[in-house]
Structure 1
């Protein structure tokens, strides 16, 4: 197996982009999910509720973040000093506000009052102790530092989706893109579909990762990243083939055992 692609999502629930290589830090890939968006009440707003956030394309140059979008000129982000505590899926995390200009840019994109927050210190948020060690940390990802998927599993899911459509007398849809699942690392090669379900440890390049658990999927996977509209897939088909404990599953969550670098084409070895 080898590493087919690496993706970074600088702003939680905004668009991501592929990179040829990345630094693995204890809390995730360098630059990944260090920013999030809050609504007028100060709560997290994600593309689950507001798909137009996916039209925001954050571009990282070293440590400098620039937001680009269809509605305004690109905006270079300069975080301020004001801090507030935001509930990140049950974790109270102190975040730094990115100022009124960033707030106005995002509010214009989504048509509602929004603010951009920055996790200046990624050591603040621990991983769920049920799956991590006391010193494990995670940035602003849903729960774990990295998400891994495989091309073999996506190919099988695409076949299932086509079968579902034909059974219902529908036209088979265009092949589902991997970006719907927002993985950090995608592997390809001599692996059976969903073989990753059974992995406990995996080495990518020079970095060893622990597998915590599978990734249960939400309605965000049904949002078309080109039109920002919601459909039925892949949740409809995953519910037929990949449902357990009342949830549907695709991909696995990883915690790095230590820092290092990974690059596209690196060997992937199950330990």
Structure 2
């Protein structure tokens, strides 16, 4: 009898494109896991910033704190860690742009903007997505009217441990799962088993795998050094066997039930497979 699929890791990323926090239990909300990508760093034009253009963001580490998190700079100890609460207050607001969407956001405290501007060497602001904001998953793939936070396009990203193992077996220097920034990691099955899932449950919560996740240059940035791989790895190797419609795919973009609780060790059951 085949071993069951198990939820092996849970991650949230409080600030888009910064480091994650590993959890043993997480609550599901309409936009994904609670506290996931509700904060965003924007530039002087109020446009979102990511490691794609600003690799130095990889130097900023996120660690849990009471009712919030700490930001620290791994190469500048003179910058004292900055405490950020999980939620902001609507004292100051502005409109920000993320991809093709313009959304309403709440400003962080001025000291947050000052700290980040110093840490990244350019003027920037920290903003928060409140529960009043509606940002939809791409409409043509979203019959349920699902919402998303400041994540690229979907509330959850799912990756199998065996998929990473398959990739690492092809690389001269293995990479960690943090390169791919998943929320949900499972063990069991064959490499890329998740490609064939359409509907599945984790514990009591039901999810839908919508489409493969197209990967970008961010995966080539070493989170320990903020340096891009001169060989373009692991993207280069992935492109050799995971390219479809000009996109390099790794992991599945997923929508969820809007409420519930997940725990590491929960069983994963496949309800409907694609092309069934």
Note if 1:37 corresponds to 2:41: yes
Q: For residue 122 of structure 1, report the CA deviation from its aligned partner.
A: 6.1
Query: How far off is 1:61 after superposition?
Result: 4.2
Aligned CA RMSD, in angstroms, stands at 1.5
Partner of 1:97: 107
- Contact (CA 8 Å) 1:33, 1:139: kept in 2 or not? yes
State whether structure 2 residue 226 is matched by structure 1 residue 228.
Answer: yes
Q: 2:13 aligns with which of 9, 15, 37?
A: 9
Question: What are the superposed Cα offsets for residues 41-80 of structure 1, whole Å, 9 maximum, x if unpaired?
Answer: 2211101111221222234446434323343112223645
> Quick one: distance in 2 between partners of 1:264 and 1:4?
5
1:239 paired residue number: 239
Secondary structure of the residue aligned to 2:179 is: helix
Shift of 1:114: 1.1
Q: In structure 2, what is the Cα distance between the partners aligned to 1:242 and 1:215?
A: 11
**Structure 1 residues 192-250: Cα deviation after superposition (integer angstroms, max 9, x where no partner):** 11121111011111111011111000000000000100011111011110011111000
CA distance 1:42–1:258, shift in 2 (3 Å): closer
Conserved 8 A contact 1:27-1:123: no
Q: Tell me if structure 2 keeps the 8 A contact 1:26–1:255.
A: no
Q: Find the counterpart in structure 2 of residue 255 from structure 1.
A: 255
Gapped runs of 5+ residues in structure 2? 272-276
Q: Which residue of 2 aligns with 1:166?
A: none
Identify unmatched segments of 5+ residues in structure 1: 162-171
In the alignment of these two chains, the number of paired residues is 259
Q: What is the TM-score with the length of structure 1 in the denominator?
A: 0.91
Aligned counterpart for 1:208 among listed residues 193, 206, 209: 206
